[in-house]
Homo-oligomer: A and B are copies of this chain.
Amino acid sequence: MTIQLPILRDSALSVMAASCEPRPPANSVGMKPVKTLKVGELARLSSKTVRALHLYEERGLLDPIERSKGGFRLYAEDSLVRVRWISKLQEMGFSLTDIQRMLQQWEHSGSAPAAMLRVGELLKTKLAETRDQIARLRLLEVELESSIEYLETCPHCSPQQVLTACTACELHAQNEMAPDLVAGFHAQ
């Protein structure tokens, strides 16, 4: 994976030099050592474990730009964007294998708009799935609420009452079925 530097870079630098802001460290030209992160720092910043970051490397999803003399992994600051990107895709339900495939498709597609089109399609599919998932969770939310409400009655029941009698409890209206979340306990 070779990265071409955008051509604007020089003019961008001169604009910054002309401003009154303190000059940021030159980190793209190689004169000063580039600011890097050790794996523990990257882990902390991304809320991942070191083990997870190692795994992403094994799977080809993340690479340190170099190693220290002692073998320590040194990451570019950009890696944080990559790791957060992985996290988001995982939250949407992509597996690491899915993500691996997406990256490969991306790298092997010569034409930029074609690659972007593919990405767009994937995101649209996921948007639909995310909406489904939200709908499912809202149903669960309603169910939780009504189960909690149903259970509000129980503290007024006699403490001597045995659990097996709950199937015919006289405190709840006779036509009021126990909600599934409660009924599951006595099922069987």
C-alpha gap A101/B106 in the complex (Å): 46
| A182 on the B face (CB < 8 A) | yes
C-alpha gap A122/B186 in the complex (Å): 17
C-alpha gap A106/B148 in the complex (Å): 16
| A6 on the B face (CB < 8 A) | yes
Q: How many residues of A contact B (CB 8 A)?
A: 80
A86's closest neighbor in chain B, by CB?
B184
Does B7 lie within 8 Å of A186, measured CB to CB?
no
C-alpha gap A84/B184 in the complex (Å): 8
Does B111 lie within 8 Å of A160, measured CB to CB?
yes
Does A164 lie within 8 Å of B113, measured CB to CB?
no
Tell me which residues across on chain B come within 8 A of A117, comparing CB atoms.
151, 154-155
Residues of A at under 8 Å CB distance from B? 1-4, 6-8, 62-63, 65, 76, 78-79, 81-82, 84-86, 88-89, 91-92, 103, 106-107, 109-117, 119-120, 123-124, 126-127, 130-131, 133-134, 136-138, 140-141, 143-145, 147-148, 151-152, 154-168, 180-188
